[in-house]
Amino acid sequence: MSNRRVFSSWWSLSAAGVLCGVVAALTVTACGGSAAGSAAGSGARTAATPAVAPSGPREQTADQQLSHVLSRLAFGARPGDVSRVREMGVDRWIDLQLHPDRIDDAAAEQFMHENYKLLEVDAAELQRMVPPPGVLQQEMAARTKGREATAADSADYKKALEASRQLVGEVNSARVTRAATSQRQLQEVMVDFWLNHFTVYAAKGPQARYHLAEYETKSIRPHVLGKFRDLLGAVAKSPAMLFFLDNWQSQADSTRPRLVMAGGRLTALSPAQIRALQTRAAAGGRGQQAIAATPPRGRAGLNENYGRELLELHTLGVDGGYTQTDVINVARALTGWTLQGPRQAESGFNFVPLMHDAGEKVVLGHTLAAGRGVEDGEEVLDIVARHPSTAHYIAFKLARHFVSDTPSPALVDRAAAVFTATDGDIREVLRTIVTSQEFFAASTYRGKVKTPFEVVVSTVRALDGKPDPTPRTAQLVAGLGQPIFGHQTPDGWPDTGDKWMNTGAIMQRINFGFVAAAGRIPGAAPLGFPGADALKNAPLEQQVDGVTAALLGGSISADTRAVLLSGSNPLLKATPADGAMTGRPLPPIKGINQVIGLALGSPEFQRR
């Protein structure tokens, strides 16, 4: 068989679609996913089962378990990780990762502190340091009023504008750096999971970029293994989410009662009563003291965006049993949950009583009495966080992420039962999933397709890459189709292999392997892994064995081995440049570098 024919069949698509939720490339044993059926795939509820893991031995071999936990509960293995987990024991390592506070991560924290100073600045100060484009234009107009702009003016403007753009780049770079270098790997995996579950979009508007760092560090990161209700509340009050889903603009309709300060206390009054009170107060010269003015311009009426996504995407799920009336009443309960002005000294969550709908509401069968304020929203979060559909939906999403594109209904039900019994303790739900027999089933080994973020981070780790504070590595993630904070809709990036695998995506991933092999990833030398230098002048078969052991866990299919031993690079002839990766032509990649490039583009490396 010719080299080109071997290569083209390696990552071939099956006629029936994508096999096992990924690509029909290799053998059945390399292709994961359980035969769970449509109920699990849709997240539909099944009959209750005991919250006890089924008995029975783990189907994966001891070596497979080592590779498995390092690819599912971490972003792949760094050199030496397999030996460390083997020495510690898989179960002890899992337990340690479930308690990140017990893991010394001083080196990673120090690097982050020294190289990402802007991420330690609050959003309000950031906007003073790095004004948004609109403010820069106003400042430039004021600066050049009555005269022509000079070259120095233009240079200063361009410099300030570039600083504004680079802010998102620094946030994105920090995501990759921490994921690649932290010893608290499961925590980083969960940060990635929850940031996708509660996704926000960096380009929503000029204000969005200033809240991204705080969103991760204050709203998401502290709660990734804690109580789900705490995580949900932190997200609901985060400026990033309030801005992304427009709740900061949502206020009671003109016909609804609102809360006003009257007689020294907040009181629910009808629109007619508010107008009468304003008239009397104005006549007495006490208009501004007696009652707040009309809410800021631009905030007109009820906005259902966050209320809908809170139910559909964040908690109950699309089939969770809520109605459109529930969506409306959730949105009403959250009116007045807004944020302070973007240029104020303390930009953040703010509850504005006059924006709040103070009428009675019924949410999922629970009555919220009239006349209340911010506690309406808090009670809604309590209700949805503890709803049975939320327990099932979160359990399903976690099982899908960590076990299989189609997790077994029994596993999902056990995890949901733990969610309910522990009042949404994410750590214990996750423990149930990642210590289960299903997690260690033979069919789950290499059964998930990596996202572009996982591909890039695992490549850096496999090559023993050093921390890199430039935006370059994050740009590589975007080049593979997953820009960080770049998903425009609130449903987040796909978590099943079929959504990431098509002919173009496969070629991009293989091409990325050659980008890495050409040394185009900052800090990650292609021969950076231990023993690489000794392979430079070794026979091809020895090179293949060495690279397979170092990068692929020593276990590959006959098809992959045939490609690695092919002795030529047909892909490079078809794609002489790395395109979106850097836009520069790749140099000829031969010898050990070619083997490394092919290994990084292989189905074995592209799966976890």
pLDDT of the residue at 381: 99
Whether 425 is in a domain gets the answer no
Element (H, E) at 261: strand 258-262
User: Do 467 and 588 lie in a common domain?
Assistant: yes
Query: Which residues have a Cβ under 8 Å from the Cβ of 317 and sit 6 or more positions away?
Result: 43, 389, 390, 392, 393, 396
User: Do 307 and 283 lie in a common domain?
Assistant: yes
Name the residue range of residue 117's domain. 100-247
Whether 414 is in a domain gets the answer no
Cα-to-chain-centroid distance, residue 593: 32
User: Do 221 and 117 lie in a common domain?
Assistant: yes
pLDDT of the residue at 34: 36
Of 247, 276, 292, which marks where a domain is finished? Answer: 247
367 φψ region: left (φ > 0), alpha (ψ -120 to 50), beta (else): beta
**Confidence category of residue 125, pLDDT binned at 50, 70, 90:** confident
Q: Which of 22, 395, 385, 397 is nearest to 193 (CA)?
A: 397
User: Do 329 and 472 lie in a common domain?
Assistant: no
Of 225, 247, 269, which marks where a domain is finished? Answer: 247
User: Do 215 and 266 lie in a common domain?
Assistant: no
CA-based max dimension of the chain: 96
Residue in this structure with the two tokens 């990402």, named with its chain if needed: 116
Determine the average pLDDT of the residues in 163-192: 94
pLDDT of the residue at 47: 35
Determine the Cα–Cα distance for residues 384 and 386; give it in Å rounded to an integer.
Answer: 5
Tokens of 102: 């017990």
Determine the average pLDDT of the residues in 246-269: 88
Q: Write the CA distances from 294 to 161, 273, 278, 302, 432, integer angstroms.
A: 35, 14, 11, 15, 51
Residue in this structure with the two tokens 């003073």, named with its chain if needed: 128
Among the residue ranges 48-62, 280-294, 494-508, the one predicted with the least confidence is: 280-294
Whether 392 is in a domain gets the answer no
- Reported as a single tens digit per residue, the pLDDT across 303-348 is 999 999 999 999 999 999 999 999 999 999 999 999 986 444 456 8
- If one compares 598 and 567, the residue with the highest pLDDT of the two is 598
Whether 570 is in a domain gets the answer yes
pLDDT of the residue at 554: 84
Whether residue 121 contacts residue 214, with contact meaning beta carbons closer than 8 Å, is answered with no
Determine the Cα–Cα distance for residues 471 and 2; give it in Å rounded to an integer.
Answer: 40
User: Do 149 and 202 lie in a common domain?
Assistant: yes
pLDDT of the residue at 169: 92
Determine the average pLDDT of the residues in 222-232: 99
Determine the Cα–Cα distance for residues 509 and 580; give it in Å rounded to an integer.
Answer: 12
Of 247, 276, 302, which marks where a domain is finished? Answer: 247
Whether residue 200 contacts residue 244, with contact meaning beta carbons closer than 8 Å, is answered with yes
Whether residue 34 contacts residue 407, with contact meaning beta carbons closer than 8 Å, is answered with yes
Whether 432 is in a domain gets the answer no
pLDDT of the residue at 398: 99
Whether 447 is in a domain gets the answer no
User: Do 129 and 189 lie in a common domain?
Assistant: yes
Whether 259 is in a domain gets the answer yes
pLDDT of the residue at 140: 72
Tokens of 328: 């409306």
Count of the separate structural domains present in the chain: 3
Q: pTM of this prediction?
A: 0.87
Determine the Cα–Cα distance for residues 328 and 312; give it in Å rounded to an integer.
Answer: 13
Whether 163 is in a domain gets the answer yes
Query: Which residues have a Cβ under 8 Å from the Cβ of 103 and sit 6 or more positions away?
Result: 96, 97, 183, 184
Among the residue ranges 33-47, 105-119, 212-226, 527-541, the one predicted with the least confidence is: 33-47
**Confidence category of residue 61, pLDDT binned at 50, 70, 90:** very high
Tokens of 376: 């309406």
Phi first, then psi: give them for residue 259, nearest 5 degrees.
-95, 130
Q: What is the Cβ-side half-sphere exposure of residue 370, based on CA atoms within 13 angstroms?
A: 9
pLDDT of the residue at 11: 59
User: Do 108 and 235 lie in a common domain?
Assistant: yes
Element (H, E) at 350: strand 349-351
User: Do 268 and 212 lie in a common domain?
Assistant: no
Alpha helices by DSSP H, 17-116: 38-42, 62-72, 81-88, 90-97, 106-115
- Reported as a single tens digit per residue, the pLDDT across 4-19 is 555 555 655 332 333 3
**Confidence category of residue 30, pLDDT binned at 50, 70, 90:** very low
User: Do 459 and 602 lie in a common domain?
Assistant: yes
Share of the chain above pLDDT 70, in %: 83
- If one compares 159 and 575, the residue with the highest pLDDT of the two is 159
Other Cβ atoms less than 10 A from the Cβ of 323: the count is 10
Share of the chain above pLDDT 90, in %: 67
Q: How far does the chain reach from its first CA to its final CA, in angstroms?
A: 29
Question: What is the full DSSP assignment across 157-200?
Answer: HHHHHHHHHHHHHHHHHHHHHHHHH-S-HHHHHHHHHHHHHT--
Query: Which residues have a Cβ under 8 Å from the Cβ of 138 and sit 6 or more positions away?
Result: none
Quick one: CA torsion of 537, 542, 546, 547, rounded to 10 degrees? 80
Tokens of 418: 């733990």
Determine the Cα–Cα distance for residues 112 and 108; give it in Å rounded to an integer.
Answer: 6
User: Do 268 and 242 lie in a common domain?
Assistant: no
**Confidence category of residue 153, pLDDT binned at 50, 70, 90:** low
- Reported as a single tens digit per residue, the pLDDT across 348-362 is 899 999 999 999 999
- If one compares 346 and 591, the residue with the highest pLDDT of the two is 591
Determine the Cα–Cα distance for residues 373 and 363; give it in Å rounded to an integer.
Answer: 16
User: Do 299 and 226 lie in a common domain?
Assistant: no
